[in-house]
Structure 1
Amino acid sequence: MDEAKRTLLDLLEKIAKEQKYVNNTVDLKEVSAGGSNVTSALFLSTIRADDKPDLKLFAKVALLNDHARKMSPMKCPFTTELYFYTKLKKQYERIEGKHNVIEDHRVRMPNLYGCYDEYLSETLVLEDLVGQGFENYDRQQPADLEYVTAAIDLMAKFHALSLAFHDDDPVGFKEASDTLTLDMSKMEALVPIVKPKAMANALAAAEGENREKLEKFLKQEPCLLLKFMDTYRSKNRNILVHGDFKPNNLMHRRRNGKLEIVLMDFQMVLDGDPLRDLLYFIFTATDEAFRRSHYRAMLNLYHERLSEALQRFQIDVETVYPKSTYRAQLEEYSMVGLTIAVIVLPMVLVEEEDIPKFDDDYNTDDFVVQGSKLYKERLNGVINNYVEWGLL
């Protein structure tokens, strides 16, 4: 880590020169993500110079070692995020400018000040949003209707940008899509590795009749975990999804009475199915009571907001993602929410002390963690919802 800090300090000095901070001082402080980031060391920095406003920055430095990277079937998260900030984000901003999209309708993402792309030492330096009044979402608190509505609106605008990018520059989009497509054979090879441990943890958390219902669901063939894996496929809809759209990858503030949300952490952006982001967010962000009252409305809201976002680029949603197709996909993926609760939710709600260490002893199934007390409550809430919906 000392070497990583030196690399970061060198990068900060370079940024200071680029921003014309002469005779500057650089303060650097490592901060905790409270369990919401497990692959990077995080830092806050302030660059000061006479007659200049303080430049407040946020830095991410790679922690994953070579062994952990080789064990994962996913693309290197730092390679993906560097590509997003240095290539894709610039295309998105160009397209928003070309179509004169007003500020309130743009996708708010952190600005990049500098980066370092050497393997095992990847570093990103971004604007510090905390210094602008933004807060991290508490990953262990369920989101309310206002927050979920705003987040789904942001998601729809993010997806619309990739459709507009494809419409504007099909060749450039194909390059991005090819770069951000996963090797599905490697993803599917994960199932027999993670399934036994994930099943055991989930069944241990299920209560009463829920345990029997969950066990029956998990034993179905073909394996329903593969349906979740299927959301990593593009379905030829030309949508690049965030891939990890959950509350702790969002930041928010209230300004002039309006809730503003910023999208963070682009380490898993991929050419995938939009329902991956939508279902992933709903089942990691909300609780049983929220879904009982608002689940169907939120599914409808996504397609409505996608249509509105596409209109700003003069694209008709019915030509790229018809409502009939969307409804058919919702039916096809009707059980994915329960799979997300089994596979993803334990890590989202994990206690900080139980986060796996990505060291030389790391194994792929270490990412399947023991569920917390809160996970037990949330999992049973998901099962209860599926029983009420007549799907379990």
Structure 2
Amino acid sequence: MDKTKQKLLGLLDKIAKEQNYVNNTVDQKEISAEGANITSALLLTTIRAEDKPDLKLFTKVALLNDHVRQVTPLPCPFTTELFFYTKLKNQYEMIEEKHNIQEDDGVRMPKLYGYHDEYLSEIVVLEDLVAQRFTNFDRQQTAELEYVTAAIDLMAKFHALSLAFHNEDPVSFEKASDSLAVDVSQMESLAPLMLTKIKTKAIAAAAEGENREKLEKFFDQQGSSLFDIWMDLFSKKNRNILVHGDFKPNNLMHKRRNGKLEIALMDFQLVQNAEPLRDVLYFLITATDEAFRRSHYHAMLDLYHECLGEALQRFQIDIDTVYPESAYREQLEKYRMVGLTIAIVALPMILAEEEAIPDFNDDYDVTDFVVKGSQLYRERFNGVINNYKEWGLL
């Protein structure tokens, strides 16, 4: 870390010079994400200089060692995020400018001030959105209707940017898509190692009685396909949509501007070309509770497609030519069990108590990702099971 610290100080000095902060002082404060971030050390940085407003920065420093990166089947999160900020985000901003996309219709993302891309010492320095009056969303809270609606609209705008990118430069889009591809075969090889542990913990989390019986029956009938469903969401698709990949509440920040809720999108470590329902369903399961889904789940699925169509119109793209409603309905039917799968595979880690999150050290094994569910997880998980029973799917 000492070596990385020196690189960070050098990078901050470079940023200060680029921003004309001469004779500056630098203050740094390490912060805890309280379990919301497991791959990076997080720091708040303030650069000060005479006759200049304080420059407030947010810094992410890589924590994952070589062993963890080798045993984890997903691409290195820092490689993906650096590619997004240095390549894709620039492309997206040019497209928005070309089409005169106004601030309210754009995708709010943090500004990149600088980066260091040496393997095992990656650093990303961004604007501090907290200093811009944005607030973090608590990962253990659930979202209300206004928030979910605004977040789905933001998601649709983000997806529309990639469709506009493909529409205007398909060759460059394809290169970007290939750079972000996931080797699903690696995930498939690990599935048998993880499935037993996942099933055991999920059944233990289900309430005794009908919920546990329903879940056991699901595993008996469809358990072997659980990872097929999950991994299909990571497979490259031909829909030309780059998904966020980790669209959950604690990767969003919000504030009120002119009386309207504004949401900013963070953390681009899992961006890839995949089925857009991966973002939609992942968000609805991680952000909402049983009661919300009972009242609004299907309306929110409709809202996504509506918002995507509106976002595409701003780029002069007809949604019927790229993702007609009939195709969307077919995908909803195909992936109707994905919400339950997300609750089984991903939700335990998202809602885990901080002390239950594994240490990513030389002893780390990919099955360590399967953590014991917290009390909050058990409550939320049984809420998902109850919804699936009500929908006649369990």
Normalised to the residue count of structure 1, the TM-score between the two structures is 0.99
Structural mapping, 1:82-93, within 5 Å:
82-93=82-93
SS in 2 for 1:223: helix
Distance (Å, rounded) in 2 between the aligned partners of 1:118 and 1:157: 32
1:251 aligns with 2:238: no
Which deviates more, 226-235 or 51-60?
A: 226-235
Which residue of the other structure, out of 286, 299, 318, is the alignment partner of 1:297? 299
1:154 alignment partner in structure 2: 154
2:119 alignment partner in structure 1: 119
Distance (Å, rounded) in 2 between the aligned partners of 1:97 and 1:371: 45
| Deviation (angstroms), 1:197 | 1.0
2:343 alignment partner in structure 1: 341
Distance (Å, rounded) in 2 between the aligned partners of 1:128 and 1:275: 30
Distance (Å, rounded) in 2 between the aligned partners of 1:4 and 1:212: 51
2:183 alignment partner in structure 1: 183
1:379 aligns with 2:394: no
Which deviates more, 227-236 or 346-355?
A: 227-236
1:142 alignment partner in structure 2: 142
Which residue of the other structure, out of 330, 333, 345, is the alignment partner of 1:331? 333
Output the amino acid matched with 2:354.
E
| Deviation (angstroms), 1:255 | 2.0
| Deviation (angstroms), 1:234 | 3.0
Deviations 1:80-126 (A, max 9, x none): 00000000000000000010111110000000000000000000000
Q: Which runs of 4+ in 1 moved over 4 A?
A: none
Distance (Å, rounded) in 2 between the aligned partners of 1:30 and 1:6: 15
Deviations 1:132-161 (A, max 9, x none): 111110110111101100100000000000
1:224 alignment partner in structure 2: 226
Distance (Å, rounded) in 2 between the aligned partners of 1:30 and 1:193: 36
Distance (Å, rounded) in 2 between the aligned partners of 1:2 and 1:151: 39
- The answer on whether the counterparts of 1:191 and 1:226 sit within 8 Å (CA) in structure 2 is no
| Deviation (angstroms), 1:258 | 1.1
Distance (Å, rounded) in 1 between the aligned partners of 2:190 and 2:214: 24
Distance (Å, rounded) in 2 between the aligned partners of 1:322 and 1:60: 39
| Deviation (angstroms), 1:186 | 1.1
Q: CA RMSD in A?
A: 0.8
SS in 2 for 1:224: helix
SS in 1 for 2:120: coil
| Deviation (angstroms), 1:128 | 0.4
5+ residue gaps in structure 1?
Answer: none
SS in 2 for 1:266: coil
Distance (Å, rounded) in 2 between the aligned partners of 1:316 and 1:105: 17
Distance (Å, rounded) in 1 between the aligned partners of 2:193 and 2:220: 15
Distance (Å, rounded) in 2 between the aligned partners of 1:188 and 1:285: 28
| Deviation (angstroms), 1:212 | 1.1
Normalised to the residue count of structure 2, the TM-score between the two structures is 0.98
- The answer on whether the counterparts of 1:35 and 1:352 sit within 8 Å (CA) in structure 2 is yes
Output the amino acid matched with 2:214.
K
1:268 alignment partner in structure 2: 270
1:209 alignment partner in structure 2: 210
SS in 2 for 1:219: helix
1:103 alignment partner in structure 2: 103
| Deviation (angstroms), 1:219 | 2.5
| Deviation (angstroms), 1:3 | 2.5
Distance (Å, rounded) in 1 between the aligned partners of 2:230 and 2:356: 25
5+ residue gaps in structure 2?
Answer: none
